[in-house]
């Protein structure tokens, strides 16, 4: 009972943080101006952004399949990946998309340790690719960010990632508890899978470039005249901060980050907020595919149960 109350309290707090941040941003902006920007957006460029987002998820699915040792069919892993994205975006519960993917793998004979390890490595390598692209953007855009908060926040993020990596790969944490030994052993197997890790990393770079390109098209659709390198700085930072589990689907944190950071490049709050909302809408539309697949998969499993 106490755990349920803690989960509910956590959800309420996340909703409160997301709602509070959005309320704050909207209260300091002109709603009519935001509406006008969205209504006048270039539909074609928004559609291209949507296609790029779907493409990034397909590449991400392939990356996860590679890390799973090409287990099962690529199409099945792609369906699971989209289902995970759906849960991350639409389900304000303690069951994240990663947990859902691990659960489905376990039902189909993949050990819990292997499932969790594959999901972790997918996140870990994706973060490595994100930091690579973001650091290149950081170096290119240094003149525009050296006097802002990003000048020291980004190096802290990179240092934190490196420190975490040392703990994961150098500390024998699998000995701390018996239930952790299986996960530790599954994770350490990736040390001998250099080619798969390299392929996954290359796929991660592709995902980042597709994602940044998608946001660039949304920015162009909403009237922003910024070069690709600006987005190469802003998008990775926003993506990292959205991963912090303090809000519902990153709502509020994403918008606040974009409004704050784009402000350094002279972008007014209304246009930055319109960009963020439009991009969030595209992500939600793309992740709805996972909801459809979740229903379909449930129906197929029920049919098998009836037939057996």
Give the Cα separation of 246 and 253 in Å (integer): 9
Q: What is the structure's pLDDT at 171?
A: 86
H helical segments located in 142-252: 142-145, 150-170, 178-188, 194-221, 228-242
232 with 133: CB under 8 angstroms?
A: yes
In a domain, 14, yes or no: no
Question: What torsion do the CA atoms of 44, 45, 51, 53 make, to the nearest 10 degrees?
Answer: -150
CA contacts within 13 A on the Cβ side of 80: 27
Give the per-residue pLDDT at 173: 80
Span 73-115, pLDDT tens digits? 899 999 999 999 998 887 655 457 888 899 888 888 888 888 8
- Polymer length of the chain: 308
3-state secondary structure of 44: helix
User: How many helical (H) and strand (E) elements, i.e. helices and strands, does the chain have?
Assistant: 13, 0
Low-confidence ranges of the chain (pLDDT < 50): 94
pTM value > 0.85 = yes
CA-nearest of 270, 234, 283, 245 to 85 is 283
Q: What is the span of the domain harbouring residue 124?
A: 37-303
Angle between helices 150-170 and 112-140 (to 10 degrees): 150
List all residues 6 or more positions away from 113 whose beta carbon is below 8 Å from its beta carbon.
Answer: 182, 183, 184, 185, 186
Whether 154 maps to a domain, the answer reads: yes
The pLDDT, as a whole number, for residue 94 is 45
275 domain residue, yes or no: yes
Place of tokens 């989960």: 7
Residue 67 inside a domain? The answer is yes
Dihedral of the alpha carbons of 244, 245, 250, 252, in degrees to the nearest 10: -90
Asked if residue 28 is part of any domain, the answer here is: no
Contact 61, 78 (CB under 8 A): yes
Structural domains counted in the chain:
1
Is residue 16 in a domain? no
pLDDT digits (tens, 9 = 90+) for 159-186: 999 999 999 998 888 777 666 788 888 8
């Amino acid at each position: 009972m106490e755990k349920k109350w803690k989960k509910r309290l956590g959800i309420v707090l996340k909703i409160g943080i997301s709602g509070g941040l959005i309320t704050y941003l909207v209260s300091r902006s002109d709603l009519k101006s935001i509406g006008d920007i969205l209504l006048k957006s270039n539909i074609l460029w928004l559609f291209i952004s949507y296609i790029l987002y779907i493409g990034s998820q397909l590449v991400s699915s392939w990356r996860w399949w590679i890390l799973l040792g090409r287990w099962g069919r690529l199409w099945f892993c792609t369906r699971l990946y989209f289902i995970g994205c759906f849960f991350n975006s639409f389900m304000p519960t303690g069951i994240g998309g990663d947990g859902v993917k691990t659960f489905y793998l376990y039902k189909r004979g993949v050990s819990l340790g292997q499932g969790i390890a594959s999901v972790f490595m997918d996140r870990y390598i994706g973060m490595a690719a994100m930091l690579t692209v973001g650091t290149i953007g950081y170096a290119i855009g240094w003149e525009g960010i050296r006097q802002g908060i990003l000048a020291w926040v980004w190096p802290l993020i990179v240092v934190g990632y490196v420190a975490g990596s040392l703990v994961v790969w150098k500390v024998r944490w699998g000995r701390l508890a018996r239930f952790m030994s299986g996960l530790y052993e599954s994770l350490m197997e990736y040390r001998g899978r250099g080619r798969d890790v390299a392929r996954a990393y290359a796929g991660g770079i592709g995902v980042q470039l597709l994602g940044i390109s998608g946001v660039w098209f949304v920015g162009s659709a909403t009237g922003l005249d910024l070069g690709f390198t600006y987005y190469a700085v802003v998008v990775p930072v926003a993506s990292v901060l959205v991963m912090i589990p303090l809000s519902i689907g990153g709502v509020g944190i994403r918008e606040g980050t974009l409004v704050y950071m784009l402000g350094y490049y002279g972008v007014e709050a209304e246009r930055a907020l319109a960009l963020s909302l439009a991009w969030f809408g595209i992500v939600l539309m793309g992740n709805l595919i996972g909801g459809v697949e979740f229903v379909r998969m449930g129906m197929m499993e029920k049919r098998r149960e009836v037939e057996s």
